[in-house]
Every structure is written in C-alpha cells, then in structure tokens.
Amino acid sequence: MLLRKGIALVIVLMVLDVQTCLAQIMNRASFPKGFVFGTASSAYQYEGAVKEGGRGPTVWDTFAHSFGKVLDFSNADVAVDQYHQFDEDIQLMKDMGMDAYRFSIAWSRIFPNGTGEINQAGVDHYNNLINALVANGVEPYVTLYHWDLPQALQDRYNGWLDQQIIKDFATYVETCFQNFGDRVKHWITFNEPHTFTTQGYDVGLQAPGRCSILLRLLCRGGNSATEPYIVGHNVLLSHATVADIYKRKYKPKQGGSVGISFDVIWFEPATNSTDDIEATQRAQDFQLGWFIEPLTLGNYPSSMISRVGSRLPRFTKTESALLKGSLDFVGINHYTTFYARNNTSNIIGFLLNDTTADSGAITLPFKDLQPIGDRAHSIWLYIVPHGIRSLMNYIKEKYGNPPVIITENGMDDSNNPFTSIKDALKDEKRIKYHNDYLSNLLASIKEDGCHVKGYFVWSLLDNWEWAAGYTSRFGLYFVDYNDKLKRYPKDSVNWFKSFLTST
C-alpha cells in the first residue's frame, strides 16, 4: 500500500512538473497557425466624449447618472478617452504583438436618436479608428451592440421590449455593413445578451434598471417574470435578421463572418447527486442554452420551455428557420467557474419570481464555505483555469464543435488608492491567470480537438466597469485616473510581449 501511494505521488509530481514545463515554454507558436490574439473593449467603457461628435445619449448615460446605481458614484463621461487617444492605444497593441482589437460601435454615434438621419461625424470617427488599426496591422473585430441602447428608443417604445427594435437595429447594423464592411471581416452582433437581459430586466442592476423582484424595492418598473424572456426573444430575432441581411447582401462581396459573444460561467455540480447534476445542466440551459440553442437548433432548450411555460415567447416556423444556423462563429466571454446545486427551497422563487427561480438551480462559487478557487477583486470572479477547457469540450460535444473565439478572458485587481503605481504594475497574479487559462485552452485544442480560433484579453486598459465604476482594474495597462489618464505597462504587458514574439 505504501509503495503504491509512493508511486502515485511520484506520478502526480511528474505530471505537475510536466505541466509547469509546458507553461514555461508555451507561446504563440504553440497554438495553431492563424490563431488570433487580441484585446477587447466597449464603446461606453472606453470612448468618453459622450457629448462630442454628434453622439446621442444612451440608457447607460442615464443609468450611470442616476443616484446609487454605480458603486463609486462615477460615470463614463470621460472613461479612458479612447475617442481622442485611439492612435496611441493602437500603438500599445502593436508594440505588444497583438493581432486584433475587438471594440464596439456606439449605436448613438451613428444614429443619435436611434433611427432617422445618419450622423456623419460618427461614421467618420469609426472610419478613422478602423483605418488606423488596419494601417498598423491590427485586425478590427467589431461588436455592434455592447449594451448602450440609444435612450431615444427606450423613451419611444421601451427599447428591447418592443419588436420595433428588430427593424431599427437592422437599419443601424446595415449602415455599419455598408460603411465599414470593406475592412471589417468579423462582426459580433451582441455582447453578452444573457447579461444585459437578466441584469437590465430581471434584477435591475444594470441599464435600464427594470425588475419586480423583492417586492419592487430595487426598481420603479418592470416584470422579472416576463420581461427578460421578451427582451431575449427580440435580441435573438434581431441577430437572425441582420445575419440574414449580411449573408444575402454583403458576404458575397465582403467575405466576412457574423457571430455573437455569450457570457458563460462554467458550472460544476456541487455533489454527485442526480438532483445536482440535473440542476447543473438547467443552469447552463438558462445561461448559454437560452441564446445558443435557438441559433443552432432553432428553439429554446426543452428545460426552459417546460419550466417557463407560457411566459416564454414562441418562435414561428419561419423565425425558427431564420434563427437556425445564423452563427458563423461562437464568441465566448469566460472568466470563472461556479458550483451548481438543485434549489429545494420555495423561498427564492417567492422572493424573486425570475429567471433564477425558473431554472431551479442555485449557483455559487462556494461549497461547504470553501471557495472554488482563489479570488480576483470582483466578488464573482474566482480563478479556476480548468473551467475553460471543460467549457470548450461542452460546446464541442453539445453543439457540434463550431468555430469558437474567446472574445473575453481576464481578471481584475482592486483600485486601491493606497497602492502606488509602482506596486500596481506588479501584476503576477494576472500573468499566472492568463498563463493557466491559456494552457488549458491550448489543451482543449491540441488534446481534445476543440475548434478554438482566437483569444481576446479583457482588457487592454483599466477602464470603467459598469456598476463597479472605477473600483476594478482589468487592464494590461494601468490608467492613472489622477494624471491625464496616462497609460503605464503592467508586468503582464511584458509577459504578453514575450509570449507573442517568442518562436
């Protein structure tokens, strides 16, 4: 027995040693030819200049300026000022060896009122940004909607709650295809539809802040039992509509592709019980399945149909046919892993009456008061590198191994006012995070045969993080908010530079 234990220990140590060696020698050349490395951002979190260039107000301008909605009472009126500093930021990407930049177009810069007359100044700005990227050998990946709905559409007909949004979104998106599609070959219609659907219309913690949970203590209006599903339905039909427009009218000449970026926490059963294993699948159905299954299979997951019942909108046969197969690639924003267990209590359902209660699953990063991994700064972000490999295999097995791009992955540090810039630049934890997640991603490709085509770091710069404001720092570059937004490279910049230039 002792001998067997000794042999087992030696084997474990050998495996760990091999993994360490692999991590040390892993670099760009370890990944398949053509694999894309980049960084990601969004317009409202980066651009600033909210009243320049003809830009119209958005629901996030309204939300961020509402008292108590943002942790540090900040807003993104200035953000990191990329509207004026994109040339310098592109140079940072180029110097690091990044292949691509994922950014979003602000709908209200193109159509300040959501519809109507095109704002040429907005078109010119994005043309200048795209041209600068191309001139520096950085490929543009464009997100068409990253949560910043024009406020005019919210005022006019409640935005995503009305089917008129499908037509208005299509007009806006086709304008982008027409003006930028000669240089943009990768389009992402929506960023994290699950997030803005649930956070904006279920729990009310993000714009436009609608909900009915907890006896409507958090929100002035909304219905958590129905509105998230209506919004999700209209988002799916909007994607399918513009994907069809692109395929018919623009793809033959422009040769690009259209996908979506889904937010996906990987879930592991809290126990080996059948109840918890089934709850884990339901949790994934109500997260990823909610949006990917209509786009790959033509309908919602069966667990959603049975558990939500008449509150879940239905697709017509024509809509189902339009939806099915409308993804050229699957974007995945993945940061962390949680445990999932069956919800045996009726209390949560009584208090919330929302999508969480409908799933019948409770998801938390703890089990028996023990965290699932080391925590970053955000209360939800626990570091579990093997989760990305498990997720890639899940997508491969369940959805036929589609092309996948990791459109966001990263971790944050706190914005501690007592930490010097010199100390803030020492981000060994971030380096280890990316090394370990990339190692697992590489294993999913090389060992498991997962069809992963790219990896985008969130984020190039520290930036305004929605309801967390400026309390959280995700960037490879430190931004000094107290000194003209100067950018300073953290140690992770040098790590990526070495990673991307080694052969």
Please give the structure tokens belonging to residue 301: 């997951």
Report d(CA 38, CA 101) in Å as an integer.
5
Element containing residue 5 per DSSP (H, E): helix 2-25
Report d(CA 437, CA 335) in Å as an integer.
9
Q: Are 240 and 93 in contact (CB under 8 A)?
A: no
Please give the structure tokens belonging to residue 43: 């317009």
Report d(CA 291, CA 498) in Å as an integer.
37
Q: In Å, how far are 4, 90, 162, 493, 498 from 95, measured between CA atoms? A: 52, 9, 45, 10, 11
Question: Of 268, 293, 319, 408, which is the active-site residue?
Answer: 408
Please give the structure tokens belonging to residue 469: 């404001």
364: left (phi over 0), alpha (psi -120 to 50) or beta: beta
Instruction: Find the DSSP H helices in 136-265.
Output: 151-157, 164-180, 193-201, 227-245, 251-254
Q: Are 259 and 388 in contact (CB under 8 A)?
A: no
User: Of 238, 402, 391, nearest to 325 (Cα)?
Assistant: 402
Q: Are 383 and 336 in contact (CB under 8 A)?
A: yes
Question: Of 139, 192, 268, 465, which is the active-site residue?
Answer: 192
In the annotation, is 408 catalytic? Answer: yes
Please give the structure tokens belonging to residue 60: 């996030």
* Catalytic residue IDs: 192, 408
